[in-house]
Amino acid sequence: MSRSEALADGFPDISGHAIARRAHWGRWIAAAIIILILLAIGRAFARGQIEWPFVERFITAPVILRGIVNTMVMAVAAMALGIALGVVVAIMRLSPNPVLRSVAAGYTWLFRGTPLILQLLLWFNLALVFPTIGIPGLWSARAVDVMTPFLAALLGLGINQGAYTSEVMRAGLLSVDIGQYEAAQAIGMGRLQALRRIILPQAMRVVIPPLGNEFIGLVKATSLASVIQYPEVLHSAENIYYANSRVIELLIVAGLWYLLVVSVLTPLQMLLERRFARGVARSR
Amino acid sequence: MKPLVAIRQVSKRFGEFQALKQVSLDVFEGEVVCLIGQSGSGKTTLLRCVNQLTTADSGGIWLDGELLGFRERDGRLHRLSEREIARQRLACGMVFQRFNLFPHLTALENVIEGPVQVQRRKPAEAKDAAMALLRRVGLADKSGSYPSQLSGGQQQRVAIARALAMTPRLVLFDEPTSALDPELVGEVLGVMKELATSGMTMLVVTHELGFAREVADRVVYMDQGVIVESGPAGEVLRAPREARTKAFLAAEVG
C-alpha cells in the first residue's frame, strides 16, 4: 500500500481507502460451540430408542388427520367465541354503567384466575350440578346428553379465551385517540356506530399481533381438551400409543403437526396485519 | 330577527376550575363570529357546548329555536337520549384543532362517512357531493390519499369538507390553524374565507387576529370564563374599549 498523500492542509487523503472487515473471533468460537452441541443432541436422538419409521407411518394416519382437523375446528370456534366475548366485555369495561363495568371485571378475574384444565373439567361435569338443563316450560334435556366433549371444550376454551381477549381488546380501544370519538360524534354517530365504524377498525391494527399470539396459544391449549375425551390430535396420538406402546413416536407425530399449524399461521397473521394497517403503513 | 344560535347564561365548571360563567351570546344566520382570548379563557369550552361534546352545568343553548341536549317539561330539564343528541349534532359541523380525520379511511371516504352511514344517503350521490367539496377545498386530486399521506393543511381542508358534507346550518372551528406549520396556515384560512363569503354561518375560535379582522362580522373577546367585549371586528380589534382587551391585543401583536 502506498502512503497516503497529504492534503493541502496537512491531513492525509483517506478518501480512496477501502474499509477492512474486522475478524470477529468471538463470534466464530461461539458459533462453533453451539453447532457442536446441536450435533451432539441430534446424534443422541438418532441413536436413541426412537423408531423413526413409526413416525413416518403415523404422521398421515387417518386418525391423526381427523385429530388435527378437530384441533383446528376447536381452535377456530373457541377463538371466534373468545373474540366475540372479548369485544363485548372490553366495551362493558369501558362503559359508564358501574354494573356493566364490575360484571366485566369479575368475568376476567374469574376465568383468568382459575386453571384452564379445571374449567374444562367443570364444564364437562356440569351434569353433576344441574342434572337437567333447559328453559322452564319450553325445553329441557339431560345435561349429560347436551354437554358433549365438543360443547364442553368449546365453552371451556372459548370463555377462558374471552377473558384474555377482552384485555387485548381493551388495550386496543384505549389506543385510539379520544379525538376520533369526538369526530365520529360530530358527524352524528351514536356510541355503537362510532365503535363499529371508527374505533374498532383502528383498534384492530394494535390488537392483531397480540391476538395472533393468543390464537397460537389456543391451538396448543386445545390439547388440554384431551382430558375430557375431545378427539383432537393429542388425544388421537394417545389412543394409538395406548394400543401399540410407541409413546415417543406418536408424541413426535403430534408435535410435528402443532409445529406445522403454527408455521402456517404466522404468514396468515402478517396478511391480516397488512389489511388493517391501511392508512398507516403506507406513510412509513 | 331570531338568532340561529342563542347561548344563554351558560356556566361550566371542571372540578375547581370555572371555565364559563353565565355566558350569553347570539350568532345570526350567515354571520362569522370569531372568539378570541388567551388559553383557558373558556372559548373552546363554549364552542364544544354548542356541539354538545361538553355539557353545560347550567344555562341553555338554542339552535334554530330548539333547546340543545334537554327537553323542558313541568319546569324541569330532562336529558335527551343519545340518539336525539346525535340528530341535533347534525345541524353543526365541527372542525378540530388536530383535524381528527379517520386515519383508516381515504380523504374521500372520510368525507362520505357521515352522509352514507349517518344520513343514509346513496353512496353514489354522496360520492359526487364529496368530490365537489374536495374540489372546493382544492383537493380533488387527493381523494384517494390517506390522512397520513397529506400535509397538515391538506388534512384540515379535508376535515372542513367532511364537516360541510353533512350540510350543516353552521360550522364550528376550534383553533383550526393552531396545529399547523406557519407556511400551511394560509391555505386553510383561504378555504375558510371562501366559506364565509358563500354565506356559511361560522363560529371560530382562533388566534389569527388577521383572519378575524378580515373575515369576522363580529369579534368576541373572552377572559376567565366571561365575555369581556364583543362587537364588530373593526371596533374590537382596532379600538377596544375594555382595558383587558387592550392588554390582550397589545400582547398578541407583540
Contact of A227 with chain B, judged by CB distance below 8 Å, is answered with no
Of all residues in chain A, the one with the smallest CA distance to B173 is A186
Interchain pair A179, B113: CB under 8 A: no
Residues within 8 A of A (CB atoms), B 35-54 only: 51, 53
Of all residues in chain A, the one with the smallest CA distance to B113 is A187
Q: Are strands B70-73 and B76-79 parallel, antiparallel or unpaired?
A: antiparallel
Q: Indicate if the pLDDT at residue B162 is higher than 70.
A: yes
Q: What is the least distance, in Å, from the CA of A183 to any CA of chain B?
A: 6
Q: Indicate if the pLDDT at residue B47 is higher than 80.
A: yes
- Cβ-proximal residues to B71 (8 Å cutoff; 6+ apart), any chain: B77, B78, B80
Interface probe, candidates B44, B100, B178, chain A, greatest A C-beta count within 10 A: B100
The predicted-structure confidence for B30-42, as pLDDT tens digits, reads as follows: 999 999 999 889 9
Instruction: Please give, one letter per residue, the 3-state secondary structure of B105-118.
Output: CCHHHHHHHHHHHH
pLDDT, position A1: 46
Interchain pair B96, A182: CB under 8 A: yes
The predicted-structure confidence for A3-17, as pLDDT tens digits, reads as follows: 567 778 888 888 888
Percentage of chain B lying above the pLDDT 70 cut = 100
Task: For residue B104, list chain A residues with Cβ-Cβ distance below 8 A.
Answer: 201-202, 205, 276, 278-280
In contact, B204 and B220? CB cutoff 8 Å: no
Task: For residue B54, list chain A residues with Cβ-Cβ distance below 8 A.
Answer: none
User: What span, in angstroms and rounded, lies between the C-alpha atoms of A178 and A99?
Assistant: 23
| Mean pLDDT, residues A84-94 | 94
User: What span, in angstroms and rounded, lies between the C-alpha atoms of B208 and B167?
Assistant: 26
User: What span, in angstroms and rounded, lies between the C-alpha atoms of B64 and A139?
Assistant: 56
Contact of A182 with chain B, judged by CB distance below 8 Å, is answered with yes
Interchain pair A278, B104: CB under 8 A: yes
Q: What is the Cα gyration radius of chain B?
A: 18
Q: Indicate if the pLDDT at residue B94 is higher than 90.
A: yes
Contact of A179 with chain B, judged by CB distance below 8 Å, is answered with yes
Q: Indicate if the pLDDT at residue A282 is higher than 60.
A: no
From the list B82, B96, B148, which residue is nearest A179 (CB)? B96
Interchain pair B96, A188: CB under 8 A: no
Interchain pair B53, A185: CB under 8 A: yes
Interchain pair A185, B90: CB under 8 A: no
Of all residues in chain A, the one with the smallest CA distance to B159 is A183
pLDDT, position A259: 95
Contact of A15 with chain B, judged by CB distance below 8 Å, is answered with no
Task: For residue A180, list chain B residues with Cβ-Cβ distance below 8 A.
Answer: 100, 102
Task: Look up residue B125 and give its three cell numbers.
Answer: 350521490
The predicted-structure confidence for A102-157, as pLDDT tens digits, reads as follows: 999 999 999 999 999 999 999 999 888 888 888 887 888 888 888 899 999 999 99
Residues within 8 A of A (CB atoms), B 126-165 only: 146-149, 162-163
Of all residues in chain A, the one with the smallest CA distance to B119 is A188
The predicted-structure confidence for B169-203, as pLDDT tens digits, reads as follows: 999 999 999 999 999 999 999 999 999 999 999 99
Q: What are phi and psi of B15, to 5 degrees?
A: 60, -120
What secondary structure does DSSP assign to chain B, as a single string? ---SEEEEEEEEEETTEEEEEEEEEEE-TT-EEEEE--TTSSHHHHHHHHTTSS--SEEEEEETTEESSEEEETTEEEEPPHHHHHHHHTTEEEE-TT----TTS-HHHHHHHIIIIIS---HHHHHHHHHHHHHHTT-GGGTT--GGGS-HHHHHHHHHHHHHTT--SEEEEESTTTTS-HHHHHHHHHHHHHHHHTT-EEEEE-S-HHHHHHH-SEEEEEETTEEEEEEEHHHHHHS--SHHHHHHHHHHH-
- CA–CA–CA angle B77, B78, B81 (5° rounding): 145
| Mean pLDDT, residues B69-88 | 92
- Cβ-proximal residues to A188 (8 Å cutoff; 6+ apart), any chain: B86, B87, B89, B90, B114, B118, B119, B166
In contact, B139 and B161? CB cutoff 8 Å: yes
pLDDT, position A7: 79
Task: For residue A182, list chain B residues with Cβ-Cβ distance below 8 A.
Answer: 53, 94, 96, 100
Q: What is the least distance, in Å, from the CA of B120 to any CA of chain A?
A: 12
User: What does the DSSP 8-state code read for residue A198?
Assistant: I
pLDDT, position A277: 82
In contact, B97 and A179? CB cutoff 8 Å: no
Task: For residue A278, list chain B residues with Cβ-Cβ distance below 8 A.
Answer: 104, 146
Interchain pair A189, B86: CB under 8 A: yes
Interchain pair A179, B87: CB under 8 A: no
Contact of A198 with chain B, judged by CB distance below 8 Å, is answered with yes
User: What does the DSSP 8-state code read for residue A96?
Assistant: S
Interchain pair B147, A190: CB under 8 A: no
Calculate the alpha carbon distances from A77 to A66, A257, B141, B200 in Å.
Answer: 16, 19, 45, 54
Q: Indicate if the pLDDT at residue A273 is higher than 90.
A: no
In contact, B69 and A168? CB cutoff 8 Å: no
| Mean pLDDT, residues A23-34 | 93
pLDDT, position A284: 39
Interchain pair B100, A180: CB under 8 A: yes
Task: For residue B117, list chain A residues with Cβ-Cβ distance below 8 A.
Answer: 189, 193, 197
Interface probe, candidates A178, A187, A208, chain B, greatest B C-beta count within 10 A: A187
Q: Indicate if the pLDDT at residue A281 is higher than 80.
A: no
Of all residues in chain A, the one with the smallest CA distance to B172 is A186
